Structure 1
Amino acid sequence: MTTLAPLAPWQARAYAHLVSIHEAGRLGHGVLFAGPAGLGKRAVAQRLAQRILCREPAGAEPCGHCRSCQLFAAGTHADFELVSFIPTKDGARMRTEIVIEQIRELGERLALTPQYGGAQVAVLDPADAINHHAANALLKTLEEPHPGRFLWLVSAHPARLSATIRSRCQRVEFRLPPREEALAWLIAQGHKPAAAEEALDAARGHPGLADQWLQGEGLALRRQVAADLDKLERGTAGALATAQAWVADEYAELRLRHAADLALERAAGLTDAGRTRSLAAWFDAANRTRDLLRTTVRADLAVTELLLAWRGDAPVARGGRA
């Protein structure tokens, strides 16, 4: 028997709602799971898929032991499909968008009779990564539903989806839980209360992000970024050397995220309107620089310019560069 992973409280609420509307026959063909990344939208979608495909559901939960549940747990259920990024044709890297061929294949599969005689479920994650041609194909699939077929879209950026696609889906919104609930959940994951509070504050109330940082190097990285910014401000560290250190490994984007958050945090405690505006502009520049890291720009030069602006040696750019 497969043991089901426990859902976080905010996930459990969304799941219970979805099960109830499915049982009442009101779950539509298309559902949009929307909300911040890291809150477990895909986990809820997959649990619901297993529940719908289960032959012997135990109340609101899948049984975990029937043939369908065993296949689902093994990732080999013929009536469940997860559509996400796939390798490029040469296999050298993963694609950064979901392409039309994937959506066409999905539409063809959903037109077939379910192999196990029940339903078919497909989860598209991240749905907002579909390109223009794939979006048109997806819309056609949403507009021509087959009985017992479900197509669920998971997105942290639902506004990037066309209004027409959004209008074809029931929407389930995932929001940040109350602070007390998020903190209790973090402590239940085995984190010490003081560290959990620090991480939750740093993540602006996002428990999934806080948990991720506590399990990895995220929180320690934030402390280091704060120390680096202080050294730059005092003139005891150089912008170029700091920038080179920030982009030397895979954590460059996370460092810039922390830097932007720290600027916003500092701005919130100021009464000097001029300095507040300056920090707000720097916050925007830091986020633009994060976007630049995904291009062919020289990362160390882009971050150096940003850090010079933090130190006051260069203006904050208003255009596409930081």
Structure 2
Amino acid sequence: MSARQPLAPWQQRIHDHAADALDAGRLGHGLLFCGPAQLGKRAVAERLAERVLCLQRSAGEGPCGRCRSCHLLAQRHQRDPVETRPDGQLAHPLGHSGHPDLVLVGHVLNEKGRPPKMRSEIVIEQVRNLSEKLALTTQYGGAQVVIIDPADAVNHAACNALLKTLEEPVPGRYLWLVSGNPARLPATIRSRCQRLEFRLPPREESLQWLQAQGHDSGDALEALEAAHGHPGQADAWLRNEGMGLRRQVGTDLDAIAQGTRTPLETAQRWTADEHAALRLRHAADLAVARAAERLTDPARTRSLAAWFDQANRTCELLRTTVRADLAVLELLMAWRSGAARSEARSRPDGAG
């Protein structure tokens, strides 16, 4: 890759384990890279693809860095027309990897839309195209790797086509699925893949890595705690104003509870850009934090727990065709009602 970044320590451990298994012939053609989003599953998959596709690699060694395949892979990010979706995922058209034997399948533009928009699903035409490509002779006479990311976006019809491909492996062809929500994949797909599990690394390792990315130690600690120990999420929030967004969400919730800001105005603002889902995630997390502070008020604690569940359901609704502003408005009105009931309970008898 053009400005090749070293793998994070937890990524390197998984890479090395998988590389040893690949070299020993212990990994089949279907792999499922799974675990929380933003832990580097895609990065590890691509690094393993470099190893598999190298044409002159010595046994037990990494990619040679000199062959035609290695040169193409090193240059791919300079010419790959990569688009970034609002959730931070990379969107590649089928086959745009810069290497003829590395096929990337992800969200693509729906050209029929007016204006064209990114599809929310990976559709059957994409899976059929990759199946046809896997049936062809490789360009360089070596292996071929297909990476599907995010695999949990493959729709039902496409999953059936994908299952057929998994059930009929071709020697030297690898089909790798990357998923932050593997439970959304059919059990028949999961059962035909060997899993590479990504888990949150130790706290100190995460902090050291965040500081190595150039973040202030205090900011890194704050973001890591907000992200519940997830270093990739913390890094993204520190780079993309996610922590500022979190503070603003807290301010908005307080203002609604105090009656100085309306749920309607806030709902419209929260859903006016691509950060609506992230705002709801921050709001749900802040509700949990407030509940922990209200242990002496069991009724309010139960109310906050119920609101946390409602916030998560609302976040899921945003993936559908529901009007986002109305869904968030209902959530924020529930927040205001809960705050009002808590305030009423806290008044002395007769006050009001």
TM-score bin, normalised by smaller chain: over 0.9
Q: CA deviation at 1:63?
A: 3.0
* CA contact 2:106–2:122 (8 Å) conserved in 1: yes
Match of residue 109, structure 1, among 133, 144, 159: 133
1:320 corresponds to: none
Contact 2:49–2:145 (Cα < 8 Å) also in 1 = yes
Q: What residue is the counterpart of 2:347 in the other structure?
A: none
Q: What residue identity is the alignment partner of 1:82?
A: L
Among residues 276, 279, 300, which one is paired with 2:304 in the alignment?
A: 279
Q: Distance in 1 between matches of 2:323 and 2:140?
A: 53
Contact map agreement 2:54 2:67 (CA 8 A) in 1: yes
Contact 2:263 2:329 in 1 (8 A): yes
Query: Is 1:162 aligned with 2:202?
Result: no
Letter in 2 for 1:280: A
After superposition, the Cα gap between the structure-2 partners of 1:111 and 1:188, relative to the gap in structure 1 and judged at 3 Å, is: same
Match of 2:231 in 1: 207
Counterpart in the other structure of 1:21:
21
Instruction: Return the match for 1:147 from 171, 174, 182.
Output: 171
Hey, what's the Cα distance between the residues in 2 that align with 1:299 and 1:134?
Answer: 28
**1:298 deviation in Å?**
3.3
Cα RMSD over matched residues?
1.9
State the shift of 1:100 in Å.
1.3
In 1: Cα distance, 2:180 partner to 2:200 partner: 13
Q: Secondary structure at the match of 2:254?
A: helix
Q: Distance in 2 between matches of 1:41 and 1:250?
A: 24
Matches within 5 A, 1:223-262: 223-262=247-286
* Number of equivalent positions: 315
Letter in 2 for 1:7: L
What amino acid sits opposite 1:33 in the alignment? Answer: F
Closer, same or farther in 2 for the Cα pair 1:109/1:20, shift >3 Å? Answer: same
State whether residues 280 and 315 of structure 2, in contact with CA within 8 Å, keep that contact through their aligned partners in structure 1: yes
**Matches of 1:296 and 1:81, distance apart in 2:** 31
In structure 2, runs of 5+ residues without a counterpart are: 77-96, 341-352
Say whether residues 1:292 and 2:314 are aligned partners.
no
Matched, 1:64 2:65: yes
Aligned-residue identity in percent: 66
Match of 2:233, as an amino acid?
A: L
Residue in structure 1 matching 2:197, options 161, 173, 190: 173
1:257-294 C-alpha deviation (Å, 9 max, x unpaired): 10011111222343233222211110111122222333
Distance in structure 1 (CA, Å) of the matches to 2:4 and 2:63:
9
> Could you say which residue in structure 2 is the equivalent of 1:186?
210
Which residue identity does 2:331 align to in structure 1? L
Which residue is 1:81 aligned to?
103
Specify the code of the residue in structure 1 equivalent to 2:326.
L
The aligned counterpart of 2:287 is 263
- Alignment of 1:129 with 2:129, yes or no, is no
1:162: Cα distance to partner?
1.2
State how far apart, in whole Å, the 2-side matches of 1:29 and 1:296 are.
37
Pair 1:307–1:190, CA change in 2 (3 A): same
Alpha-carbon distance in structure 2 between the residues aligned to 1:173 and 1:83:
21
Deviation at 1:303, TM superposition (A): 1.8
TM-score normalised per structure 1? 0.92
Give me the TM-score of the superposition, normalised by structure 2.
0.85
CA contact (8 A) 2:303 2:338 kept: no
Question: Do the aligned residues in 2 keep the contact of 1:4 with 1:64 (CA within 8 Å)?
Answer: no
